[in-house]
């Protein structure tokens, strides 16, 4: 049976952005585009979309009339299907999930205080000011260490020039102290005006809302045509206080905008449509907050809890007279138009009316269908990235710097090697450090090259497997290199405490074992966290080339916390190494070997000191920037991604490492190069050792 033309479709209510009316009362939305695609596929010349009454009424009937021949309804709440419905109608794959939301008008109250000297700080500015103050204190300590090193330690002329150049740290610390004081002053001025304190209220959660409803502090407004409760359920939510029943969700949201003591209960689609129709809502003073509901919070009413957490599934309801080939085409369009989340849900449940070929395609090859799944929102984000010159410029610059870092590390590895470290253990570990930093620079270079190339194509999603194989591998190598440096710090600490024992019991194999173990364990743990327990190696398509995948944010946070502790441990050990070798009063020793061991230990620490401080500074800056990102709302995904790329700096460390080695080792090597005769050679060596 062929499709009847014009195509007969219908809708029961407008749900933004699927079916809605524009300013000129014309129907628009994703569903209208989907049916136009169906018309083109079946060469049908026209479509009629009619308005129908609600599909499911509370008296038990499916809707107020029978589905006419050829009708395809644009929305159907499939959670209310009865056992007999599949015998009378076809139900398509899932269109979308619509959840219930509680909303409340955002307050703008300004409580006052009689204490005119009262000081109020918001958490984030105060934390940043404290961070600046702590950084200034750390720089002051480092400056004091440098000062003592320059006066108590015998150094070569080159080392003295280096130490002299670092005395600018004092000026940096003083500048940060001034900046921190000014920040405190401006934060105080912004948060305090006369006797008024301005602050943002703590967001309401579900428990706070229920307490307010039961006490009568706030009232619950809802659309009685879409949401109804039994009297016992009403008392369970609001106690002795009654609800406010209105005729539509639009009236509910309008009441929320006009009264601060009203909480609205509406579906997410209605909320989006309301904001779309009121483009000037923010300027009119209608700012609403969605009341946060965690997965563990319940109202005690099973149906409401399900709609708040899981939502209701919407599908198309199709007449039995519609040909099976049309059902196949419609299901294919749904799966390739909407996101991959729909594919997963559709594959896992029973479909009432697909053909055997479509069912087998969905069950046997779900990832092939997922590869072509693309929502309008995802495509729009990729188009924004492709047209954003600033974002592409940032990616291009980072690609150039990462390539330079890979080349620089290779150059220093082959030219300088590890000969400046003397001890075999340290040499072995530093070979690991070279290799891991080369992996970091290479992985991020590949990442940024792929990002620039994919933005040249229309709507090119990126697989989670690709992200894990490139960017996440680079991050894992970065963390592994950090832990190798921690092992070097432990080795230097052991050498400082027990120099004689260290000289006699050094083990080449033990150094290899520690290097391999630390690298593999860190790599395994990092990939485990970023892949959510290796789940994301099963390909899923995402829009942004970001290691913080939305499916496994909790694991990513766990990894960041672990690395923060590790970074703090590294800094403490470095400080202890500096104290034992440069600040603590030297103990006289009768052994020439011990004295030589201590001298070499100080020289190695002077070499790795700027390396560790640079690594710590880059990590501290990036961590602070990510904390700020979590505190502030960024309007668009493109702006968020640009901010992340601008403030993520550790991938530049391989390039900085190459410069540090050139500055600390390369220049020193050139200072002692023989000019051509033995007398000048020994004279240069004498000047170099400071004798």
Q: What is the pLDDT of residues 30-89, one digit of tens each?
A: 777 788 778 877 777 777 777 776 555 444 444 434 455 556 766 566 555 666 666 667
**pLDDT at residue number 16:** 73
**Dihedral angle at the C-alpha atoms of 266, 267, 270, 272, nearest 10 degrees?**
110
Q: What is the pLDDT of residue 259?
A: 84
Look up residue 519 and give its two tokens: 């690298």
Residue 615 confidence (pLDDT) above 60: yes
Sign of CA dihedral 572, 140, 564, 615: negative
Q: Report how far residue 248's alpha carbon sits from residue 261's, in angstroms, rounded to the nearest whole number.
A: 19
**Among 135-149, 315-329, 420-434, 519-533, where is mean pLDDT lowest?**
135-149
Under 8 Å between Cβ of 345 and 110 = no
* Phi, psi (rounded to 5 degrees) for 536: -75, 0
Q: What is the pLDDT of residues 371-382, one digit of tens each?
A: 333 445 566 677
Q: Give the confidence band of 440 by pLDDT, cuts at 50, 70, 90.
A: very high
- 620-636 b/e with 16+ CB inside 10 Å = b? bebbbebeeeeeeeeee
How many percent of the chain have pLDDT more than 70?
Answer: 61
Beta bridge partners of 541: 463
- The pLDDT value given to residue 15: 75
HSE (side-chain half, CA atoms, 13 Å) at 441? 23
- H or E element that contains 443: helix 424-454
Beta strand spans in 365-482 (E) = 462-463
Q: Which of 586, 461, 477, 456 is nearest to 525 (CA)?
A: 477
pLDDT at 200 over 50: no
Quote helix, strand, coil % in the chain, to nearest 5: 60, 10, 30
DSSP letter assigned to residue 320: T
Q: Strand order of the sheet with strand 47-51? A: 47-51, 7-11, 72-73, 317-319, 89-91
Residue 549 has pLDDT above 70, yes or no: no
| pLDDT at residue 353 is higher than 60 | no
pLDDT band at 157 (very low <50, low <70, confident <90, very high): low
Which of 244-253, 286-295, 430-439 shows the lowest mean pLDDT across its residues? 286-295
CB 688 within 8 A of CB 672: yes
Which domains are delineated in the chain?
Answer: 7-94+312-373 (3.40.190), 103-107+201-309 (3.40.190), 380-686 (1.20.1070.10)
Compute, in degrees rounded to 10, the torsion defined by CA atoms 315, 318, 324, 325: -70
pLDDT value of residue 343: 45
Of 61, 222, 213, 193, which Cα lies nearest the Cα of 118?
Answer: 193
Better-scored residue on pLDDT, 62 or 648: 648
pLDDT at 438: 92
Q: What percent of the chain has pLDDT over 90?
A: 3
Contacts of 328 (CB under 8 A, 6+ apart): 354, 355, 357, 358
Note whether 250 and 261 are within 8 A (CB). no
């Amino acid at each position: 049976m062929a499709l009847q033309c014009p195509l007969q479709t219908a809708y029961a209510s407008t749900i933004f952005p699927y079916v809605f009316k524009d300013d000129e009362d014309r129907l628009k939305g994703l569903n209208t585009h989907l049916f136009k695609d169906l018309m083109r596929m079946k060469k049908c010349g026209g479509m009629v979309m009619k308005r129908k009454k609600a599909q499911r009424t509370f008296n038990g009937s499916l809707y107020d009339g029978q589905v006419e021949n050829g009708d395809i309804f644009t929305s159907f709440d499939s959670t209310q299907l009865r056992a007999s419905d599949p015998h009378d109608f076809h139900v398509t794959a899932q269109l979308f999930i619509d959840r219930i939301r509680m909303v409340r008008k955002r307050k703008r109250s300004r409580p006052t205080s009689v204490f005119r000297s009262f000081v109020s700080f918001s958490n984030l500015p105060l934390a940043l000011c404290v961070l600046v103050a702590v950084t200034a204190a750390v720089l002051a300590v480092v400056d004091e260490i440098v000062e003592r090193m320059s006066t108590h330690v015998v150094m070569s002329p080159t080392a003295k020039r280096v130490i002299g150049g670092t005395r600018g740290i004092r000026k940096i610390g003083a500048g940060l102290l001034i900046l921190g004081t000014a920040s405190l002053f401006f934060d105080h001025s912004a948060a305090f005006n006369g006797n008024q304190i301005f602050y943002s209220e703590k967001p309401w959660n579900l428990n706070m809302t229920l307490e307010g409803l039961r006490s009568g502090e706030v009232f619950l407004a809802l659309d009685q045509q879409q949401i109804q409760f039994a009297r016992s359920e009403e008392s369970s939510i609001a106690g002795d206080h009654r609800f406010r029943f209105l005729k539509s969700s639009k009236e509910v949201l309008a009441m929320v905008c006009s009264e601060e003591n009203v909480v609205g209960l509406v579906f997410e689609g209605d909320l989006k449509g309301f904001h779309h129709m009121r483009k000037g809502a923010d300027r009119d003073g209608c700012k609403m907050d969605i009341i946060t509901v965690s997965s563990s919070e319940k109202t005690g009413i099973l149906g409401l809890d399900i709609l708040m957490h899981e939502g209701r599934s919407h599908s198309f309801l199709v007449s039995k007279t519609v040909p099976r080939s049309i059902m196949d085409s419609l299901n294919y369009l749904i799966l390739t138009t909407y996101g991959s989340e729909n594919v997963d849900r559709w594959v896992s449940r029973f479909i009432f009316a697909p053909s055997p070929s479509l069912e087998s395609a969905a069950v046997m090859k779900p990832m092939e269908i997922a590869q072509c799944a693309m929502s309008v929102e995802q495509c729009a984000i990729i188009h924004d990235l492709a047209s954003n010159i600033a974002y592409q410029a940032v990616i291009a610059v980072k690609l150039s710097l990462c390539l330079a870092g890979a080349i620089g590390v290779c150059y220093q590895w082959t030219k300088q090697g590890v000969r400046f470290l003397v001890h075999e253990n340290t040499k072995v570990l530093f070979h690991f450090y070279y290799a891991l930093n080369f992996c970091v620079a290479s992985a991020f270079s590949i990442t940024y090259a792929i990002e620039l190339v994919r933005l040249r194509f229309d709507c090119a999603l990126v697989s989670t497997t690709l992200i894990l194989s490139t960017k996440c591998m680079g991050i894992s190598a970065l963390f592994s290199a950090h832990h190798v440096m921690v092992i070097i710090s432990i080795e230097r600490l052991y050498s400082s405490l027990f120099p004689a024992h260290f000289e006699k019991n050094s083990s080449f194999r033990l150094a290899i074992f520690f290097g391999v173990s630390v690298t593999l364990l860190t790599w395994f743990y990092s990939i485990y966290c970023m892949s959510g327990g290796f789940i994301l190696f099963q390909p899923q398509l995402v829009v942004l080339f970001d290691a913080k995948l939305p499916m496994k944010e909790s694991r990513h946070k766990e990894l960041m916390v672990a690395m923060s502790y590790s970074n703090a441990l590294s800094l403490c050990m470095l400080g202890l190494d500096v104290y034992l070798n440069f600040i603590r009063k030297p103990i006289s020793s009768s052994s020439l070997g011990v004295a030589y061991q201590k001298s070499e230990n100080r020289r190695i620490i002077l070499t790795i000191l700027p390396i560790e401080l640079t690594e710590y500074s880059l990590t501290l800056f990036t961590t602070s920037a990510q904390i700020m990102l979590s505190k502030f709302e960024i309007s668009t995904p493109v702006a968020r991604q640009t901010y992340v790329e601008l403030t993520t700096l550790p991938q530049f460390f391989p390039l900085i490492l190459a410069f540090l080695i050139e500055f600390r080792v390369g220049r020193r090597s050139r200072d002692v190069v023989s000019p051509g005769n033995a007398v000048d050679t020994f004279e240069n060596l004498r000047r170099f050792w400071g004798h």
